[in-house]
Structure 1
């Protein structure tokens, strides 16, 4: 496993927020992502560069917060849930890292609505960070 240290973590105020999101949007987050959110909510990793199938050296800015009161939080991404995507992270340009229907990691480009494949699952994504 890629040795990642998370910075600027905002403690998760209520672990039940994850279950509320799952219920509200009829999704099931994989255990590796749930654990990462529970331990590193809104944080960013010291290894934060990743490649997509199209682009190189993209930046993983931070995990999306599951705290309702935080300025940027999961509740702002309802549109992506309706597109059968599970948002979990952002890049500095406002593009969103998501899991698709098959729990593969994609980068959703918000200006063009295009999707770029990143990894087969969340754990593989973390292992690919450099």
Structure 2
């Protein structure tokens, strides 16, 4: 995090707010993320580009723990939870409304980081009964997910 500049962070959040959200979603955030979010939640970051499988993504900002923020982690989780696979928790956003998320599906203690493309992220109710018979919904849903890296610290080190 040495070369990173955090711009316009929201007023510091208290640990209790982070714990409340963790209790809501049922997952404990990694310590490196918590330490960053305590100071910089809601902030944009420079540099902001991340290379993912030969494609450049933009890490616009960390989601905020402020309930009045447009990018409130609480509001976003509430609005998107039916479209989130169990174990996927958003923490950052790009300019197009796609999310950088923690992925707890393989490891409850050390979640990996994924990029969730909301433009192609689907659920069963997006399809008719006939369409559901012709597709593999699980496979279609996985196509909206791209592995980024193994940790929040690693994500920050990838910013360029």
TM-score, L = length of structure 2 = 0.75
Q: In the alignment, is residue 73 of structure 1 matched against residue 55 of structure 2? A: no
- Residue 70 of structure 1 aligns to a residue whose secondary structure is coil
Structure whose CA Rg is larger? 2
- Higher share of residues assigned helix: 2
Report the CA distance shift for 1:11/1:67 in structure 2 as closer, same or farther (over 3 A). Answer: same
Give the distance between the partners of 2:33 and 2:64, measured in 1 at CA: 13
Which of 91, 97, 100 is matched with 1:97 structurally?
100
Aligned-residue Cα RMSD (Å) equals 1.6
Cα offsets for 1:8-62 (capped at 9, x unmatched): 1111344311000111111000000001110101001111000112x52211110
Q: Is the 8 A contact 2:13 2:37 kept in 1?
A: no
1:125 corresponds to: 155
Unmatched 5+ residue regions in structure 2? 122-143
Report the CA distance shift for 1:13/1:122 in structure 2 as closer, same or farther (over 3 A). Answer: closer
2:28 corresponds to: 28
Give the distance between the partners of 2:85 and 2:49, measured in 1 at CA: 28
Q: Is the 8 A contact 2:93 2:100 kept in 1?
A: yes
Q: Which runs of 4+ in 1 moved over 6 A?
A: none
- Residue 52 of structure 2 aligns to a residue whose secondary structure is coil
Unmatched 5+ residue regions in structure 1? none
- Residue 10 of structure 2 aligns to a residue whose secondary structure is coil
Q: In the alignment, is residue 38 of structure 1 matched against residue 38 of structure 2? A: yes
Give the distance between the partners of 2:35 and 2:84, measured in 1 at CA: 20
Number of matched residues? 129
Displacement of 1:82 in angstroms is 5.8
- Residue 88 of structure 1 aligns to a residue whose secondary structure is strand
Report the CA distance shift for 1:22/1:42 in structure 2 as closer, same or farther (over 3 A). Answer: same
